[in-house]
Amino acid sequence: MEMEKVKYIDLFCGVGGFRHALKSPGSQCVFSSDIDPDARLIYAQNWGEEPAGDIGQVGVAEIPPHDVLCGGFPCQPFSISGNQGGFEDARGTLLHEILRIARHHQPSVLFLENVKNFLSHGGGETLAKTIELLNRVGYQVHYSLLNASRYGVAQKRERVYFVCFRKELGIEDFQFPVPSDEDVAVEDILLPKGDRRLDDLIIQRSDLRLKEKMPTERENRTLRIGTVGKGGQGERVYSPKGHAITLSAFGGGIGAKTGMYLIDGQIRRLHPEECRRLMGFPDSFKLHDRPNVSYKQFGNSVAVPVVRKIFQSILPILSGRTLQAA
């Protein structure tokens, strides 16, 4: 007897990080949504279907039944790179869209992601209120702060993940995946030396200050080797023998969005295709034709390998239980 596929919806889907992570013969995406037209464009080019627009304009009855609700909250309201507007920011109310859909469809699992700063935002009140609201609509909440750097991704990217089971399932405990600490580094994801597309990414500064001794061994952490300017955020130089800093949709400084790295004797930022690899997307994944849009999209995306490993921990719990969308 063929097992029922796990049906999921992809809210605030961006370019489809969750979808790529959950892609398998045993799962099926039945709905997606994002308010950003550029994100919808790239999602459609890669997945063959255009997501719905503003989820606030979509009635719950228009959304198919599903087992798992996936959603990465928009990063900016809770990120130290943004304005920290929190729930007062319009995008903060997207939690209420999640609650609205969950209350109606009662999927077995809510699988959510947000930035690290979500945990401390408002002195912890934002997190407490989020858990309270999720409890009210019938979910047992499990959450953990995971760093992609420890899950096979050559990037320091700390995010808080929520795995919330419907209370009737009686799942009191959930174990997030154990770190794998794989040997990965920025040098693994670089485009070939001599690629002319990299020329525009080279940074030449008279105030560049580099350490005398450079790393010769790979390490699973960021390796700062120099600075420009005052050495603030976006003005630090790193070794490709280590991990990348967090890719960001925002942020300032000459190395904004990707950071700066000493590669083949030159200081440069990363190319969008290198960012694609850093987030765990395949080389076949189609990019926006404007690089700045691609930087923003990958800065807003989830780290695919981390989400995939969490989902692999969710699946055994769902197997053998009656799926909501079956």
Distance of CA 119 to the CA centre of its chain: 16
What's the CA gap between 224 and 240, in Å, rounded? 10
Work out the angle between the directed axes of helices 291-300 and 37-47 (0-180°, nearest 10). Answer: 80
| Best CA proximity match to 248, nearest among 181, 171, 306, 301 | 301
Which residues on neighbouring strands pair with residue 71, listed in sequence order? Answer: 11, 112
What's the CA gap between 66 and 148, in Å, rounded? 27
Which residues on neighbouring strands pair with residue 227, listed in sequence order? Answer: 209, 236
Ramachandran sector of residue 257 (left: φ over 0; alpha: ψ -120 to 50; beta: rest): left
Question: For the chain, what is the radius of gyration of the CA atoms?
Answer: 20
Residues designated catalytic? 75
Rounded (to 5) percent helix, strand, coil in the chain:
35, 20, 45
Give the Cβ contact number of residue 219 at 10 Å: 13
What's the CA gap between 260 and 204, in Å, rounded? 11
